[in-house]
Chain A
Amino acid sequence: MKTRKIDEKLCELDLTPLVDVVFLSLMLFMIALYFQHVKAGERARLPYDSLARPPGVEPERELVLNFGFRRSSGGRRRDPMPTVLLDDRHVEVRELSPELDRQKHALQSQSGNDALADVTVLIRADSDVPAGLVQELVQKCREGGFANFSLQELPAKQ
């Protein structure tokens, strides 16, 4: 029986694909971080506070309302009027009622007519939005049947 002699040089592991994978994962994370920062520029810049509490008991259901300014990637405001970011759409507070009704019907179709009692509206408002508009936002939610509210903050930097 003939056996072929294996050349020892052929058994060296080819590192190139491994290095490729490492570089690809590095690029993936860097690009993901870049887009995360771009997206963060669009989200609300929450006020800082040292006395706000971390959420004790997670609410059964929550409706998160991001209320802030449309900003460029550099952080500059693109529009002086703050908007609520709902499903990747910017909605002004005065036009929010139909959207809230849609959310309300979706919740009620899932969990019955009493579903809204378990819903907490988390208001993530930018620190520079007018207080009157935050109050209007709360008012619209209240008219829509939502009753529990939390104002979101970031812990103050020590």
Chain B
Amino acid sequence: MKFSPNNGPSIIRLPLVPLIDVMFLLLMFFVLHLKGISPERQFTVNLPSGPPSSATATGSAASLPDIKVGLRSDRNGRLTQLTLGSKNLGNDDAAFDRLNREILQLIGRPGHPLTKDVEVEIDADYETHYRFVVKAISKCTGRMDPQTRQIARYVEKIKFAPPHKPKA
């Protein structure tokens, strides 16, 4: 029985390189796309319990006063006035920075032990856009140092005042 040594090809060359190139391109495309989706973050909120607070300074001498932040708006939800207690802070982006500074003045320094018991009550008009509420919560919560990117925490406890009626 004789077999010829040249019956079949000696080497089958599969051009894998272009296939791998295409697969890597696809992989890169989808990895880069996924990188653009940011993970969500969150604020934890308390719920209003008991009657709404009527003044900003309700604490005793040994504790810091509770803080009431008001957001007034027009019928379209645009912010018309940001208040801290009875103090008008304006309605622009700088108003939120002023709120941040005022909160810092109230608590004295970031991480003050007494701030653990302090609550910020957010009292927003019915129509106020939710993003303004989130911004106010953020400015009460703390401040990010632009150089070090470290976050100085001011007040951790946030609660909502009972909802207002919509404007007629």
Question: Residues on A close to B: CB < 8 A?
Answer: 1, 3, 5-6, 8, 11, 13, 15, 18, 22, 25-26, 29, 33, 46-47, 49-55, 122, 124-136, 138-139, 142, 147-155
Least Cβ distance of B18 to chain A in Å?
Answer: 9
Given contacts A55-B42, A152-B41, contact A131 B133 (CB under 8 A): yes
- Alpha-carbon separation in the docked complex, A30 to B44 (Å): 37
**Any chain A CB within 8 A of the CB of B115?**
no
Q: Which residues of B contact A135 (CB under 8 A)?
A: 124, 160, 162-163
- Alpha-carbon separation in the docked complex, A89 to B127 (Å): 24
| 25 residue pairs bridging A and B, Cβ less than 8 Å apart | A3-B4, A3-B7, A11-B12, A22-B22, A22-B26, A47-B135, A51-B141, A52-B43, A52-B138, A122-B42, A126-B130, A127-B129, A127-B131, A129-B129, A130-B77, A130-B127, A130-B166, A131-B128, A131-B132, A135-B124, A135-B162, A135-B163, A138-B45, A151-B42, A154-B40
The A-contacting residues of B in range 1-52, CB under 8 angstroms, are 1, 3-4, 7-9, 12, 14-15, 19, 22-23, 26, 30, 33, 38-45, 47
Beyond A126-B130, A130-B166, A152-B41, 13 additional contacts (C-beta under 8 Å) are: A8-B9, A29-B26, A47-B131, A51-B141, A53-B43, A122-B42, A131-B71, A131-B129, A132-B166, A134-B133, A135-B162, A151-B134, A153-B134
Number of interface residues of B (CB under 8 A): 50
Least Cβ distance of A71 to chain B in Å?
Answer: 16
Q: Which listed residue, A5, A13, A125, A139, touches B130 by the CB 8 Å rule? A: A125
Is the Cβ of A153 less than 8 Å from the Cβ of B130? no
- Alpha-carbon separation in the docked complex, A50 to B14 (Å): 52
The B contact surface, by secondary structure, is mixed
Given contacts A149-B44, A153-B40, contact A47 B134 (CB under 8 A): yes
Q: Which residues of A contact B41 (CB under 8 A)?
A: 49, 52-55, 152-155
Q: Which residues of B contact A53 (CB under 8 A)?
A: 41-43
The A contact surface, by secondary structure, is mixed
Is the Cβ of A152 less than 8 Å from the Cβ of B19? no
Is the Cβ of A130 less than 8 Å from the Cβ of B130? yes
Closest A-chain residue to B77, C-beta based?
A130
Q: Which residues of A contact B14 (CB under 8 A)?
A: 13
Q: Which residues of A contact B124 (CB under 8 A)?
A: 131-132, 135
Contact with A along B127-168 (1 / 0, CB 8 A): 111111111011001111000000100000000101110100
- Alpha-carbon separation in the docked complex, A20 to B52 (Å): 66
